[in-house]
Amino acid sequence: MKNGSTTGELMAALRSTVRDLLPGDRLPSSRDLMAEHQVGPGTVARAIARLTAEGLVVTRPGSGTFVAPKASAKGDPADTGWQTVALTDRAVDTRPLIDVLGEPSPDTILLDGGYLHRSLQPVRALSAALARAARRPDAWDRAPVNGLAPLRAVFATAAGPGIGPDDVLITAGGQSALSLVFRAIAGPGNPVLVESPTYPGALAAARAAGLSPVPVPMDADGVRPELLADAFAMTGARVFYCQPSHHNPTGAVLPPERRRQVVEVARAAGAFVIEDDFARHLGHGGPMPRSLLAEDRDGTVVQLTSLTKPAAPSLRIGALVARGPVMDRMRAVRHVDDFFVSRPLQEAALELVSAPAWDRHLRTLAVALRERCRELANAIERERPDWSVTRVPTGGLHLWVRLPTGPGGSMVTASAARRQAVAVSAGHRYFAAEAPAAYLRMGFAATADRADLSDAVRRLASI
């Protein structure tokens, strides 16, 4: 072939070559094609790109160009087996988050939900806030990486004295914040200490970041500080994730003395404490406990909070509160991940929490949650006296119920409950290692009304 050969002529020659080869066979290298056909590198690159677009060849960087697999007959499933090799072993384990029993039927009473039922949401206030936000002339402008300054100021004020807007990073809800903070603070293969039991979403986020969750036992008052110190010493961990206020799933509240000890133990280990303060607005009417962040003077505590739980599932607005270089690290991860959180949603959240209707909603919600909590606890005591409610919490959305069966009994019971059209959460999902006993987490905020709670437990009496 002469120097003036065109890309089209080279493609015709390559098509002939492909017809004589088998799928997976390697084509001559670019250097060989240039020498054989007397063409330049640009001509070879264009020809290969066009043949790739036609599906005749596939290129593998560092390996070469290969004859593509033959197209499947119409209706045959595509062969994606090659992806298993390409994706290596970095699988994301979503099992703690997914209901292995499948989608519940429409008549199922949901005691496994982690959000408020629509009847408990401030729907009118949310709609009004979103409408006001949409009318702002800058509603669709780019938001700062940190988040809107007025919204950061709201979270800073709630965090307490000594915290300013620059210490706050707005996130797309609590789960996004967990993923961000784990990746910002620890590296793949590092251990992360967690309470046992703990929130399954935290276990999933930690493992997705390549971290290894290490359980630290709790008692009736929460995590045991002496065992936390032992765990730091044995593992060399530099992160401890915890929920000191109205713990999910147990409802435990860490006493003031233990709060100080947890911060001191972590500080002595040169480690961070990630305080998941998800229940800050989910109290049942009494005073809220003082946060771990309030006990911290040296930037040991990174606090995570959210408006999603007390408002509505789709108000994906949360915040990370921290001081020192760790905030710069988290801000950098946010910048790389998605630049910023949707401005209209931030504006709507700001409108919501700035309106008098928000405080009224929180007061009403506290009463409703307290009544629902008692309704469910009383129904269990009445209908299933062999089940033990570990405590009647003073905040949060769930009861933690111990079963009389062995550790494997939680899944058996959850399956039996589903057959009675009741959805509950099997307790083994909340442990980073083996569960010491059989538990269920039973929520009281996702049903339409209190009557559904009693009805659900009556159904469970027969299993």
Q: pLDDT tens digits for 268-298? A: 999 999 999 999 999 999 888 999 998 898 9
Boundary residue ending a domain (293, 326, 355): 355
Q: What is the pLDDT of residue 1?
A: 45
Lookup result for tokens 């990370």: 320
Q: What is the pLDDT of residue 3?
A: 43
Residue 99: pLDDT over 80: no
Judged by average pLDDT, the poorest of 73-87, 103-117, 324-338, 417-431 is: 73-87
In a domain, 86, yes or no: no
Q: Are residues 437 and 350 in the same domain?
A: no
The mean pLDDT of 84-113, rounded to a whole number, is 80
Given pLDDT bands bounded at 50, 70 and 90, which one contains residue 201?
Answer: very high
In a domain, 257, yes or no: yes
Residue 5: pLDDT over 60: no
**234: Cβ contacts below 8 Å, ≥ 6 apart:** none
Q: What is the dihedral of CA 58, 60, 64, 66, to 10 degrees?
A: -30
Q: Are residues 287 and 207 in the same domain?
A: yes
Q: What is the pLDDT of residue 6?
A: 78
- As separate numbers, helices (DSSP H) first and strands (DSSP E) second, the chain gives 15, 16
In a domain, 96, yes or no: no
Q: Are residues 165 and 287 in the same domain?
A: yes
Q: What is the pLDDT of residue 72?
A: 61
Q: Are residues 332 and 382 in the same domain?
A: no
In a domain, 92, yes or no: no
Judged by average pLDDT, the poorest of 7-16, 204-213, 240-249, 273-282 is: 7-16
Residue 450: pLDDT over 90: yes
Domain count, the chain: 3
- The C-alpha atoms of residue 159 and residue 178 are separated, in whole angstroms, by 18
Q: Are residues 162 and 284 in the same domain?
A: yes
Which range has highest mean pLDDT (30-34, 103-107, 233-237)?
233-237
- The C-alpha atoms of residue 332 and residue 338 are separated, in whole angstroms, by 10
Q: Are residues 217 and 329 in the same domain?
A: yes
Question: Tell me, what DSSP letter sits at residue 74?
Answer: T
Q: Are residues 286 and 373 in the same domain?
A: no
Residue 155: pLDDT over 90: yes
Looking at residue 65, which CATH number applies to its domain?
A: 1.10.10.10
- The C-alpha atoms of residue 49 and residue 44 are separated, in whole angstroms, by 9
- The C-alpha atoms of residue 40 and residue 33 are separated, in whole angstroms, by 9
Angle at 35 between CA 33 and CA 36, to 5 degrees: 65
- The C-alpha atoms of residue 62 and residue 335 are separated, in whole angstroms, by 31
Q: What is the pLDDT of residue 98?
A: 73
* Mean pLDDT rounded to a whole number for the chain: 92
Q: Are residues 384 and 413 in the same domain?
A: yes
Angle at 383 between CA 377 and CA 388, to 5 degrees: 50
Given pLDDT bands bounded at 50, 70 and 90, which one contains residue 2?
Answer: very low
In a domain, 68, yes or no: yes
Q: What is the pLDDT of residue 91?
A: 72
Q: Are residues 411 and 302 in the same domain?
A: no
**70: Cβ contacts below 8 Å, ≥ 6 apart:** 23
Burial 157-175 (b: 16+ CB within 10 A, else e): ebbeeebebebbbbbbbbb
Q: What is the pLDDT of residue 167?
A: 95
Given pLDDT bands bounded at 50, 70 and 90, which one contains residue 74?
Answer: low
Lookup result for tokens 């049942």: 284
Beta bridge partners of 272: 239
Q: Are residues 400 and 259 in the same domain?
A: no
- The C-alpha atoms of residue 246 and residue 305 are separated, in whole angstroms, by 13
Given pLDDT bands bounded at 50, 70 and 90, which one contains residue 8?
Answer: confident
The mean pLDDT of 106-132, rounded to a whole number, is 95
Q: Are residues 336 and 437 in the same domain?
A: no
Q: Are residues 191 and 337 in the same domain?
A: yes
How far apart, in Å, are the Cα atoms of 259 and each of 128, 286, 289, 294, 390? 39, 19, 10, 10, 21
Given pLDDT bands bounded at 50, 70 and 90, which one contains residue 75?
Answer: low
In a domain, 364, yes or no: yes
Looking at residue 273, which CATH number applies to its domain?
A: 3.40.640.10
Task: Report helix angle 30-37 to 7-19, nearest 10.
Answer: 110
- Percent with pLDDT over 90 in the chain: 76
Looking at residue 386, which CATH number applies to its domain?
A: 3.90.1150.10
Q: What is the dihedral of CA 180, 184, 188, 193, to 10 degrees?
A: -80
In a domain, 132, yes or no: no
In a domain, 82, yes or no: no
Q: Which range of residues forms the domain containing residue 441?
A: 109-119+358-460
- The C-alpha atoms of residue 55 and residue 25 are separated, in whole angstroms, by 14
Boundary residue ending a domain (299, 322, 355): 355
- The C-alpha atoms of residue 10 and residue 35 are separated, in whole angstroms, by 12
Boundary residue ending a domain (329, 355, 381): 355
**Can you spell out the DSSP letters for 438-457?**
-EEEEESSSSSSHHHHHHHH
